[in-house]
Amino acid sequence: MRGTAVGRVRTVPPEWFRSHVLPAAQDSWDQLEADLLADQDERLRVTELCSDLSASGFEHAVTVGRDKWWNRRPRVRDGIHRSVAAMRLGIDIPIRFGEPEMDGYDEQDQYTVTVTEVSGDADALFERVYSLASFRSGDGFWMRCDVATGGRTPGVVNLFMPRRESRREVIAGEIVERLRVAGISAEAAFVSED
């Protein structure tokens, strides 16, 4: 596993993980996986992570924690897509208890995505743009968009991503390309740093 994690990390087999850890918001891994794979953007993310984990292994441990102290099974707090990808591949999963590690995410860049042809449900469009904004960037760093806001104008989405000063134009271009492949015509630009 690349990178560092706060707290103790232990690695568990995927079978153990599936039977002892719950997904973030559902009570069944089978149902979560069916929901993810039914959505084309989520399916793309899982497929990309399968490829990435096969080639490079885990960059960050999956973070788990209990909703309430008396719950026997913890839930995934960060890493739901990584969990599904690892279980599909049958590879061991590094886990740690606690809050999600935000290494490299304390300073963020804001990008504005403007969809050039808005049609259909604005909320669904927002969700697609947000979902497609997490990817392995050209410099090898996993760009994880954890926060997005809708603009006052339909078809405008603000993405908050880890600061990468030297790669801002490239990242904006990668966002546009990911959206284009998904059938969304858009422009993306770095706006400011937070």
Q: What's the confidence (pLDDT) of residue 180?
A: 93
For the chain, give the mean pLDDT: 85
Q: How far is CA 190 from CA 37, 159, 170, 175, in A?
A: 31, 9, 10, 11
**49, 76, 24: which is closest to 135 by C-alpha?**
49
CATH number at residue 146: 3.30.70.1430
Residue 12 pLDDT exceeds 80:
yes
Q: What's the confidence (pLDDT) of residue 172?
A: 95
Q: What's the confidence (pLDDT) of residue 101?
A: 57
Q: Do 117 and 93 reside in the same domain of the chain?
A: no
Quick one: pLDDT band at residue 100, thresholds 50, 70, 90? low
Q: What's the confidence (pLDDT) of residue 6?
A: 46
Residue with the bigger pLDDT between 137 and 51: it is 51
**Is the Cα dihedral 25, 134, 192, 177 positive or negative?**
negative
Q: What's the confidence (pLDDT) of residue 53?
A: 94
**170 in a structural domain:** yes
Q: What's the confidence (pLDDT) of residue 1?
A: 43
Q: What is the mean pLDDT of residues 148-173?
A: 87
Q: Do 79 and 132 reside in the same domain of the chain?
A: no
| Stated pTM of the model | 0.65
Q: Which of 76, 97, 118 is the last residue of a domain?
A: 97
Q: Do 161 and 92 reside in the same domain of the chain?
A: no
Number of domains in the chain: 2
Q: Do 54 and 115 reside in the same domain of the chain?
A: no
**5 in a structural domain:** no
Tokens 């603009």, residue located:
151
Share of the chain above pLDDT 70, in %: 87
Q: What's the confidence (pLDDT) of residue 2?
A: 40
Q: Is 120 exposed, middle or buried (0-12, 13-18, 19+ CB in 10 A)?
A: exposed
Residue 91 pLDDT exceeds 60:
yes
Q: What is the mean pLDDT of residues 169-193?
A: 93
Quick one: pLDDT band at residue 47, thresholds 50, 70, 90? very high
Q: Which of 35, 62, 97 is the last residue of a domain?
A: 97
Q: What is the mean pLDDT of residues 121-139?
A: 84
Residue 4 pLDDT exceeds 50:
no
Domain that residue 172 falls in: 108-193
Q: Do 181 and 139 reside in the same domain of the chain?
A: yes
Q: Which of 33, 63, 97 is the last residue of a domain?
A: 97
CATH number at residue 36: 3.90.1530.10
**45 in a structural domain:** yes
Q: Do 31 and 79 reside in the same domain of the chain?
A: yes
